A and B are shown apart, each in its own frame.
Chain A
């Protein structure tokens, strides 16, 4: 069965510092998509970044970047220059290419210390 594991229930970082959130997944598929979503206290799920498995280049969106290690089935999120507005729950999600269902990790609560 396909699973997504986020081993860090909570992380904290000083404002302006860099933090990395970890995510590993288990699949036998070769073609799939990976996502990081942010959920602030407002409940809105916001797409942070996505990665196609067939692309070797790591995705980057401004201060957010991923370290995608396909062989290790690892998909970590790096947040640079952390800001107070980054405080939220972060969910890693996996989607096989053959269907539309997302498989979610348990989430990591990110705390930003001013």
Chain B
């Protein structure tokens, strides 16, 4: 299965600023997924990112707040813009495995906004 390197692993940011999270995959993948996991909660899908097209956002998430870049088949970034304390969460990227053998996840980014 694919291996994903996600950076940064954690950050503490001032409100009003932006943070860009990076995910690098060791193989080419068509679809990448970005999730938010609020403390003690399950995962919520933010958007699906396909290479060469605009990301598809889930209800409640907008491109202005969470712009996504997908420049090639091995890399994607998620930016959390104009942050507020409510954005404090774990953010995870994920890719689907070949042959539907589950999904692989990055190690997550723990974001704290103060």
Contact = CB atoms under 8 A, between A and B. Distances in A.
B102 interface: yes
Interface in B92-114: 92, 94, 96, 100-105, 107-108, 110
A35 B20 CA distance: 30
A50 B107 contact: no
A38 B41 CA distance: 14
A102 B45 CA distance: 8
A44 B43 CA distance: 12
B107 A35 contact: no
Interface residues of B, number: 21
Given A100-B96, A104-B42, A106-B42, A43 B107 contact: yes
Say what secondary structure dominates the interface of chain A. Answer: loop
Contacts of B51: none
Interface of B: 1, 31, 33, 41-43, 45, 48, 90, 92, 94, 96, 100-105, 107-108, 110
Given A35-B102, A44-B108, 17 more contacts: A43-B108, A43-B110, A45-B92, A45-B108, A47-B1, A47-B104, A50-B100, A50-B101, A52-B100, A91-B43, A100-B48, A100-B96, A102-B33, A102-B103, A104-B42, A107-B41, A107-B42
30 contacts: A35-B102, A35-B103, A42-B107, A43-B92, A43-B107, A43-B108, A44-B105, A44-B107, A44-B108, A45-B43, A45-B94, A45-B105, A47-B1, A47-B102, A47-B104, A50-B100, A50-B101, A50-B102, A52-B100, A91-B42, A95-B100, A100-B31, A102-B33, A102-B103, A104-B42, A104-B43, A105-B42, A106-B41, A107-B41, A107-B42
Can you list the 10 inter-chain pairs with the closest CB atoms, starting with the nearest? A45-B105, A43-B108, A47-B102, A104-B42, A104-B43, A106-B42, A100-B96, A50-B102, A44-B107, A107-B42
